[in-house]
Amino acid sequence: MKTYLSKWLPVLLMMLVIFWFSAQPASELPTFNWADSIIKKGGHMLGFGLLALFSWRALDFQPERRWIAWTLAVLYALMDEFHQSFVPGRNPSIWDVLIFDNVGALISLWLTSLYKKERRPGSIHPVAKDEKL
């Protein structure tokens, strides 16, 4: 039970962080002038990228379960946008899910996959594979 909880606790904490940010009324959100969209959309990518990463970690980084982690992140993104429809001044956006949340999750899983391949015993670094050592 303890290992199960320790695997899924980061996933639940990330979901709580995302929920908390989404619960903030628009009037209470900071404005970053010209960089506002970049920072906020980057936050979407980071948040859902971490959610996908933590989910895959909870699934023991098994390659065939990577898409379960992605699906969990995208489904939570859909629920998050629905949640925002109840927050004053916030509007749900399918584009946030399809572009920023989805891409953040995919990039996170892709980069982690590359890192895991590189760290696997007996694997050859993609850059060093042509070099003779």
Q: Is residue 27 part of a domain?
A: no
Q: Is residue 128 part of a domain?
A: no
Kindly report the three-state secondary structure assignment for every residue of the chain: CHHHHHHHHHHHHHHHHHHHHHCCCHHHCCCCHHHHHHHHHHHHHHHHHHHHHHHHHHCCCCHHHHHHHHHHHHHHHHHHHHHHCCCCCCCCCHHHHHHHHHHHHHHHHHHHHHHHHHHCCCCCCCCHHHCCC
- Contact of 72 with 85, CB cutoff 8 Å: no
Nearest CA-CA partner of 55 in 43, 37, 73, 42? 73
Range of the domain at 13: 2-22+38-120
Q: Note the pTM of the prediction, 2 decimals.
A: 0.85
Tokens of residue 27, six digits? 């009037």
Q: Is residue 61 part of a domain?
A: yes
Q: Is residue 104 part of a domain?
A: yes
Predicted pLDDT at 133: 47
- Count CA atoms within 13 Å of residue 108 on its CB side: 28
Q: How many folded domains does the chain comprise?
A: 1
Q: Is residue 133 part of a domain?
A: no
Q: What is the pLDDT along the chain (133 residues), one digit of tens a residue?
A: 668 889 999 999 999 999 999 999 988 888 888 788 889 899 999 999 999 999 999 999 999 999 999 999 999 999 999 999 999 999 999 999 999 999 999 999 999 999 988 777 665 555 555 555 4
Q: Is residue 58 part of a domain?
A: yes
